[in-house]
A = this chain, B = another copy of it.
């Protein structure tokens, strides 16, 4: 997906859109390796092979770069949710959300999930960015399939999925950190199904 820095350097326009792409790619790697606090704009720019001023030019700063580079990774939430909502039996929607979530994050070893949680819990500006991001890209779609109280129902779905991510990828509780995907799907899927379309009271 990414070429080496050496390749990027050749023929790149210093302020062009390939600089932006290179910064996003570098930011994902550095934030994931170093965490939000540990990652520096200088280190990200150096990995991207561009001047550090380009971070402000393209993103306005470290937080906005993080929000775009990390919160949208390792998948585009809006697209994934649209795909899950748009295909398959509505009665198995809960299971499909859990299966998609675990399949994607399992493939990425959860390091990015821990970095996201760490940043959200450490920086109110990142938490605010996450709220705005989820509101725009996630909750609206989920609310669209909810029977009523769409915003509360989408918050409840988020609570279970974020908590599942924390115990499986961050706290690494035993045995759920190593439980096979389909067992978790069968256990947690009905929870999401009820949160979206079942009785809440």
Contacts and interface: CB of A to CB of B under 8 A. Distances in A.
Interface of A: 35, 37, 114-115, 117-118, 120-122, 127, 130-131, 134-135, 139, 151-152, 155-156, 158-164, 166-168, 170-176, 179, 183, 186-188, 190-191, 194-195, 200-201
Given A156-B176, A201-B187, A171 B118 contact: no
B163 A121 contact: no
28 contacts: A117-B117, A117-B166, A120-B166, A120-B170, A121-B166, A122-B122, A130-B171, A131-B171, A131-B172, A131-B174, A135-B174, A139-B173, A152-B176, A152-B179, A152-B183, A158-B163, A159-B163, A159-B164, A159-B166, A159-B167, A159-B176, A159-B188, A160-B160, A163-B163, A163-B164, A183-B200, A187-B200, A191-B194
Given A117-B166, A190-B194, A155 B175 contact: yes
Contacts of A135: 174
A162 B166 contact: yes
A162 B176 CA distance: 14
A169 to B, nearest CB: 10
Contacts of A172: 127, 131
